[in-house]
Amino acid sequence: MAKKNNTTPLQLSDALLSLDSEFQITRGMVQEIAAAFQMQMQAGLLKRPASLKMLPAFIGRPSGNERGSYLALDFGGTNIRVMLVNLQGNGCYQVTKNKSFPLICSQEGYDLTSPDAVGTDMFDYIAKQIKTILDQNERYLLGHTFSFPSCHTGINAASLICWTKEIRTREVEGKDITHLLDEALQRAGIKNVKPVAILNDTVAAMLAGAYGDRNCDIGSICGTGHNTCYFEPNGPDGLPMAINMESGNFDDVPFSVYDWLLDNNSHRPGEQRLEKLVGGCYLGEIVRLIAADMVEEGAMFPDDKGNPGMLLPYSIKTEYVSSMIADETPGLSNIKIWCRDHLGISNSTWEERAALKHISGLVVTRAASLVAATYIGILNHIDAGHNRTHSLVIDGSLYQKLPGFADRITAVLNDHTVNNGQGIRLIKAQDASGVGAAVAASLCAAR
């Protein structure tokens, strides 16, 4: 953002103009990012140094004939879900049991994601929760959607490379996750559950899509974290194999001064650079850093320098960003109430509220454009001439709920693909982590 000179405060309109140019992703940039992404995919596949990990998932295409009831564990962040999923063939399923539980609960005084907790505490708690939905007379095969970078040596063997999404529990990184879960199930006295598959949430989304759609070959998550996988036509054994790219770690992305700040203050500076621009975990913080800078420069809320609501890291959640963009009231009265209740600022002007809305829109539009550029890179890799139809399943709160996010992805894809995006179907996932885990468990049962 432009800086004021020593005497006059920066005009809000000037500050916003300079921000517009800093956050714009032009058509040319989309092309460059897509090309860089495709190059990193190829480098990663050849095991050359690359920011894309390109991790084989040891899972191929489902046939659509998978049937039966499977237990699905969805561990994607601070909230965990256990489900019983009944697969009925050709994309049909029913979720017959479903329970969610948090890994952090301030009222009950626990945080299993902090460095004070260790892996066994975390998995003992998960096992205890699983136990509550079991029927003692049944036997269950379990598929585990584990949404963190993990190195697989088989469909049921994966060790955590490193935590993401600011989780910091000790004694999990480097360990075999199925082992940790299995041991915890035994400690909890659970004898009728057998973990048979572990998979990333992107792979679960893609399997859930491919279960009923032969054209589905890309799965992506746009939620707290970000990542995409695809079916590599020539997998390690010559057959199509799901490859978890860990694309949140893609690093050939434009970083603004605010992104550098966020990165420097994060748990792992230099890592997950794309995710830090597009993940729900971070979008609110980018908006806060920009707004705090504008306050500091005197461009808005001039009487509120040092406002604690603005200074506290991560005090602006991505949900607030979403509500600010969604505020269509003439006086932006929802933002006014939010400024009063969250920032303690009761005399905000319409211009200041409009600026907050504008900043939120810029951050979200940039995120969606970057994500779309990576999808173009993938399409160019698997089908250079865009000759076939591709279904791309997307899950996650940003894609499902953030105003403007999904539309922007569609617009960028239409603009950069042959036939105006006719060959791409973007599909909003439903229950994807659970259904994908059940499909994976069923593929294992059939082996």
Residues that bind ligand BGC (CB under 6 A): 76, 147-149, 164-165, 200-202, 221, 223, 225-227, 246, 248, 275
Nearer to ligand BGC, 226 or 386 (CB): 226
Structure tokens at 48: 């050359």
Query: Other CB atoms closer than 10 Å to residue 427's CB: what's the count?
Result: 18
**Cβ distance to ligand BGC smaller for residue 100 or 349:** 100
Least distance (Å) between residue 62 CB and ligand BGC: 19
> Nearest approach, Cβ of 436 to ligand BGC (angstroms)?
12
User: How far apart are the C-alpha atoms of 417 and 392, rounded to whole Å?
Assistant: 14
| 152/226 with CB nearer ligand BGC | 226
Smallest separation, CB 233 to ligand BGC (Å): 22
Cβ at position 275, least distance to ligand BGC in Å:
6
- In the bound complex, what is the minimum distance in angstroms from residue 97's beta carbon to ligand BGC? 23
- In the structure encoding, which two tokens stand for residue 242, read together? 């799901």
Least distance between ligand BGC and beta carbon 279 (Å): 7
Strand arrangement of the beta sheet that strand 140-146 belongs to: 92-102, 79-89, 67-75, 140-146, 193-199
Query: Which is nearer to ligand BGC, 62 or 76 (by Cβ)?
Result: 76
Q: Minimal distance in Å, beta carbon 365 to ligand BGC?
A: 21
Q: Based on CB atoms, which residue is closest to ligand BGC, 149 or 235?
A: 149
Nearer to ligand BGC, 44 or 149 (CB): 149
Nearer to ligand BGC, 193 or 242 (CB): 242
* CB-nearer residue toward ligand BGC: 165 or 336: 165
Minimum Å gap between C-beta 145 and ligand BGC is 9
Name the residue number minimizing CB distance to ligand BGC. 225
| Total residue count of the chain as it appears in this document | 447
CA distance 311 to 396: 28
Q: Smallest distance, Å, CB 276 to ligand BGC?
A: 10
Which residue, 304 or 395, has its beta carbon nearer to ligand BGC?
Answer: 395
